[in-house]
Structure 1
Amino acid sequence: MLSVKRNTAIFFKILLILGFGYFFWLMVKITLEYIPYDPDTSFLMIKQTEVAERPEYIVFFYTHVYTSIFVLLSGFLAMLRKNFGLKSFHRNMGKIYIFLILIFAAPSGFYMGIWANGGLLSKVSFVILGILWWFSTFKAYQLARQKKFKEHKQWMWRSFAFTLSAITLRMWKVIIVYLFHPNPMDVYQIIAWLGWIPNILIIEYLIKRKLI
């Protein structure tokens, strides 16, 4: 019986790794669209007002794009933890993850949220997301410094739930556009909230049930 449970756990871990690998590759492809630098590429084509009138916007944008891909990777590798005998590796990946979010990814995401598409509803969501992303990561860092590792783990999962919004909001966008064909600005308003609220609710449920 124990052997069956162990094999099942390994199977799901492999599925998790493969699933993340697929979506991570999709995010890499999106990131590669912005190499080399070009202010008229992809998403930036609909942000020309910000690009032209706010020189700092492009700096924050590229900072966010280039660091977020490493945040995703280091966060996922850190979450593998000691289950694979990677305790020191987990610690190093966690440090990279926390550093990139606190210094680069979350502040730049917060700034971009101020100028998000979709009107006030979208802006409020992305600004809140930026704040919660930074705070949850900082809280995880504080708890690790205090050697409160159980609480640290919980806050790291909360942080990673916000990190995964980069993937989940795009998944929701594909689903909503395919099923309902709404106005583009309406899509932004919907996915701005769907991208992260279900994520954090799932994590809170798992924490409460002591499943993570």
Structure 2
Amino acid sequence: MSYTVSFWRRPWIVPLLMVVVAFLAFSVPPYLTFDPAQSRLRPPEGNAVYYPLLVGHVLFGTVAMVTACFQIWPAFRARHPRGHRITGRIYVFAGALPAGLLGLYIGWHTAAGPSVRVANLVGSALWLAVTVTGLWLARKRRFGEHRRWMSRSFALAMSIVLSRVVNVITTIVLMPELDTTFRGSEELLRYSAASIGVWLSPLLLLLLADWVLERRRKPRKVQAATARSEPYVAP
């Protein structure tokens, strides 16, 4: 019964899973063909290793997104601690770390311009840094801090989903400026929208993650302060 209550207190679990499944169902299949012509990102000319590394990045990223959902599911974590540890290791070693490392290479060779290149590099480096920090804290058995850092890792893992939504919205908003600001260049408009998406999405999700974490800490602080302020009554 306690797990049912816990589930209903976190109604975002099912929608989150549905969003992840829908995103992966749309994004991943073209890369399962191993055909560069199906790639959603244009491979640089003369770079033979880009596409295989891109496929690896997509597949490792898929593992990270799926396992991350189980990592932040409180009922799963409470009821299946061993499963939580296993999926956590999968998330780190078969998801976030290889996807982040490959993301550095993919980000450096993007065709979307220097702003997107820097955003991709910063995002991948941050993802690696917070994930390694979370892993180190878990091994030190500092589980409270571990959860905070892995929540940030989860936010960065999901930023790719939000960036696609932001790209669409930004493209629609900027379209009236096609003939003025962008001088009729649809490619320049598309790159500008992509730049806004890759910068804004991780920032918003990191801020949201820290806001949620801080919100959860406040009731504990209030309880502790109340306990300290209550007069001691001898038994």
> What is the TM-score when the length of structure 2 is the normalising length?
0.78
Indicate the residue corresponding to 1:55 in structure 2: 48
In structure 1, distance between residues paired with 2:102 and 2:50: 9
Indicate the residue corresponding to 2:152 in structure 1: 158
Indicate the residue corresponding to 2:13 in structure 1: 16
Alpha-carbon shift at residue 211 of structure 1 (Å): 5.1
In structure 2, distance between residues paired with 1:130 and 1:111: 10
> What is the TM-score when the length of structure 1 is the normalising length?
0.86
In structure 1, distance between residues paired with 2:23 and 2:98: 22
| Structure label with greater radius of gyration | 2
Of Structure 1 and Structure 2, which has the larger fraction of its residues in helix? 1
| Aligned residues with identical type, % of pairs | 22
Which residue identity lines up with residue 145 of structure 2 in the other structure?
A: E
User: Structure 1: where are the runs of 5+ without partners?
Assistant: none
Indicate the residue corresponding to 2:230 in structure 1: none
Alpha-carbon shift at residue 53 of structure 1 (Å): 1.5
Which residue identity lines up with residue 191 of structure 2 in the other structure?
A: M
Which residue identity lines up with residue 24 of structure 2 in the other structure?
A: M
Which residue identity lines up with residue 32 of structure 1 in the other structure?
A: P
Secondary structure of the 2:36 match is coil
Structure 1 counterpart of 2:131, from 137, 151, 164: 137
Indicate the residue corresponding to 1:210 in structure 2: 216
Indicate the residue corresponding to 1:67 in structure 2: 60
Q: Could you tell me whether the CA contact under 8 Å between 2:97 and 2:128 is conserved in 1?
A: no
2:113 is equivalent to residue 107 of structure 1: no
2:30 is equivalent to residue 36 of structure 1: no
Q: CA RMSD of the aligned region, Å? A: 2.2
Alpha-carbon shift at residue 58 of structure 1 (Å): 1.4
In structure 2, distance between residues paired with 1:102 and 1:77: 14
Indicate the residue corresponding to 1:194 in structure 2: 200
In structure 2, distance between residues paired with 1:179 and 1:12: 36
Indicate the residue corresponding to 1:85 in structure 2: 79
Alpha-carbon shift at residue 103 of structure 1 (Å): 4.1
Which residue identity lines up with residue 136 of structure 1 in the other structure?
A: V
Structure 2 counterpart of 1:170, from 164, 167, 171: 164
Q: 1:98 to 1:15 in 2, by over 3 A?
A: same
Alpha-carbon shift at residue 57 of structure 1 (Å): 1.0
Q: 1:81 to 1:12 in 2, by over 3 A?
A: closer
Equivalent residues, number: 203
Q: Could you tell me whether the CA contact under 8 Å between 1:168 and 1:195 is conserved in 2?
A: yes
Which residue identity lines up with residue 205 of structure 1 in the other structure?
A: W
Q: 1:14 to 1:33 in 2, by over 3 A?
A: same
More deviation in 89-98 or 115-124? 115-124
